[in-house]
Amino acid sequence: MPHVITQSCCNDGSCVYACPVNCIHPTPDEPGFAASEMLYIDPVACVDCGACVSACPVGAIVPDNRLEARQLPFVEINASFYPKRPAGEKLPPTSKLAPVIPAAEVRARRRPLTVAIVGSGPAAMYAADELLTQPGVRVNVFEKLPTPYGLVRAGVAPDHQSTKQVTKLFDRVAGHRHFRFYLNVEVGEHLSHADLSAHHHAVLYAVGAPEDRRLDIDGMGLAGTGTATQVVAWINGHPDFAGLAVDLSHERVVIIGNGNVALDVARVLTADPDDLARTDVSDRALDAFRRSAVREVVIAARRGPAHSAFTLPELIGLTGCSEVVLDAGNHELVARDLVTASDSLTRTKLEILSKLGDGSAPPPAAGRPRIRLAYQLTPERVLGEHRATGVEFSVTGTRELRRLDAGLVLTSIGYRGKMIRDLPFDESAGAVPNEDGRVVDPGSGRPMPGTYVAGWIKRGPTGFIGTNKSCSFQTVQALVADFNAGELAAPVARPEALEELVRARRPDVVGSAGWRAIDSAEVARGRRDGRPRNKFTEVADMLAAASTAPPPRRQKLLDRLLDRG
């Protein structure tokens, strides 16, 4: 009875290291890891010990006799990753690398390695986790919002609560006695790179890719147009987007691009609001869903089915919970691609697509709205004078034009990194130039001393939450190697001076205790309605909740007690 990894796999890789028989692949040090859509358990080598179940931060591993019907396709998907072999064949052990600060180094330096991390999403928290495995290291995390965890809080769809469970791991990291949160503090606004450098050996930017890639066609910008990532932030109650005007009074929404973000938005827009009411969806979005007139969400891709950007686990998840049909004539495209598809992942995607219903008839007037997947449609312009009334596409590679009426047109064509003050930026990649996480000055081709990047701002907006673990690990290895080589200048300021500086520049700074107070208040608000939490969507409300935390003196005392313990 082997264990099986299911659709909510986050590629974190913790299970790989927990497994005593090395039966989970690809491992972070294997070449296929970065491009893999999920991890796979080898059913022949699995000894059914369950060690991976407790290591998985998102509860994605299940013994095969406990799978729900919708998870059954994953038995075959896990197995098909491995070549057929005799039962019980042994595999070589997985290496467990860890950056090590030699004890002599620690004793020789009066100031322990102290690192500022900018941003508090998965890449930041995995970097902090890795750094804090080293003796004596101090980590200070700076975040512009009063709440941490970046896209896990504001980007993961609310109906994917198991994925959000990774915050429990992050809470544990944040509870380390050498970890400090400086929330509600914007680097570039309240503190500069030079300020951080003066107080730390190294500054590690893990700020993600906060902007959307924009589609440059006529009509984008009209009322009724927007981006899927803005809508995701609105659904999740991000304070900058909580008041977004999302008009759901029309029958059709068109989403341009077919990556996982497009699937997330389509799934939520067509979900039963009563199901969403049991999640941490924002109240305002939930209210809009209850009043929605949407009957169909069309996801339009410019290429053919074999080039779908969504991943197989997410397609299985979508077809298991939503009514999904294929655009008229698209079954022929799928059949054509099935003849030429060479890799098994694409074949499985195409087989699932081939079994979808035909979407030529209009959607039914009652019941749940449906999702229509459409291919070979290149967006040409948004129709409408004062507001969007539809989209005109060309059939890709031809001059044939096709119009789709819609009251809401969303682009979902990827995220983009934003320039960080005082750091170089590669406009074409939308990321900071770096080598293994060391920021590189393109002028001299040399690393900028003590400056590092991790996550999407380092490698571009690709991969899953857990992909950031190996990405951050690589950066931390480089950082620790530089520290051990004596290349990082010690902070010039006294340790207590940082706290004073931050409080002077940003009296409303929220620390770990403040975040715990916000967290408890949100969970308590949610509990009343059977929800995991009911988020504050206004910064003022977050700050009011944070202010109920124990005063800093009591907190300091608690910290000192912890330090002794």
Q: Residues in the site for ligand NAP, rule: CB under 6 A?
A: 215, 256-262, 264, 301-303, 307, 309, 311, 314, 379, 412-415, 461-464
**13 vs 414, beta carbon nearer ligand NAP:** 414
**309 vs 539, beta carbon nearer ligand NAP:** 309
Phi, psi (rounded to 5 degrees) for 31: -60, -35
**72 vs 309, beta carbon nearer ligand NAP:** 309
Provide the minimum distance between the beta carbon of 414 and ligand NAP in the complex, in angstroms, as a whole number. Answer: 4
Beta-strand runs (E) in 74-169: 114-118, 138-143
Taking the CA of residue 457 as centre, how many other CA atoms within 13 Å lie in the half-sphere pointing to its CB? Answer: 29
Which one, of 230, 92, 61, 221, lies nearest residue 155 by Cα?
Answer: 230
**239 vs 414, beta carbon nearer ligand NAP:** 414
**131 vs 454, beta carbon nearer ligand NAP:** 454
d(CA 200, CA 250): 53
Provide the minimum distance between the beta carbon of 268 and ligand NAP in the complex, in angstroms, as a whole number. Answer: 12
CB 412 within 8 A of CB 229: yes
Phi, psi (rounded to 5 degrees) for 219: 95, -20
Provide the minimum distance between the beta carbon of 210 and ligand NAP in the complex, in angstroms, as a whole number. Answer: 13
Which one, of 318, 237, 238, lies nearest residue 271 by Cα?
Answer: 318
d(CA 146, CA 542): 7
Provide the minimum distance between the beta carbon of 259 and ligand NAP in the complex, in angstroms, as a whole number. Answer: 2
Give the chain's end-to-end CA distance (angstroms, integer).
43
Phi, psi (rounded to 5 degrees) for 437: 100, -15
Provide the minimum distance between the beta carbon of 378 and ligand NAP in the complex, in angstroms, as a whole number. Answer: 7
Phi, psi (rounded to 5 degrees) for 23: -105, 10
Radius of gyration of the chain (CA): 24
* Pairing of β 61-63 and β 24-25: unpaired
Provide the minimum distance between the beta carbon of 160 and ligand NAP in the complex, in angstroms, as a whole number. Answer: 6
Q: Which amino acid is at 43?
A: P
**413 vs 480, beta carbon nearer ligand NAP:** 413
**192 vs 396, beta carbon nearer ligand NAP:** 396
Provide the minimum distance between the beta carbon of 164 and ligand NAP in the complex, in angstroms, as a whole number. Answer: 11
Provide the minimum distance between the beta carbon of 436 and ligand NAP in the complex, in angstroms, as a whole number. Answer: 21
Phi, psi (rounded to 5 degrees) for 517: -70, -40
Instruction: Report residue 135 as tokens.
Output: 């003796």
**170 vs 375, beta carbon nearer ligand NAP:** 375
CB 259 within 8 A of CB 461: no
Provide the minimum distance between the beta carbon of 281 and ligand NAP in the complex, in angstroms, as a whole number. Answer: 16
Burial-class residue 248 by CB neighbours within 10 Å (0-12, 13-18, 19+): middle
Q: What is the largest CA-CA distance in the chain?
A: 75
Provide the minimum distance between the beta carbon of 404 and ligand NAP in the complex, in angstroms, as a whole number. Answer: 14
Q: Within its chain, how far is the Cα of 59 from the centroid?
A: 16
Provide the minimum distance between the beta carbon of 353 and ligand NAP in the complex, in angstroms, as a whole number. Answer: 14
What kind and span of H or E run contains 204?
strand 202-205
Please give the residue whose beta carbon sits closest to ligand NAP in the complex.
Answer: 259
**141 vs 301, beta carbon nearer ligand NAP:** 301
**73 vs 461, beta carbon nearer ligand NAP:** 461
**256 vs 371, beta carbon nearer ligand NAP:** 256
CB < 8 Å & 24+ apart, contacts of 390-394 = 390/254, 391/254, 391/256, 391/300, 393/300
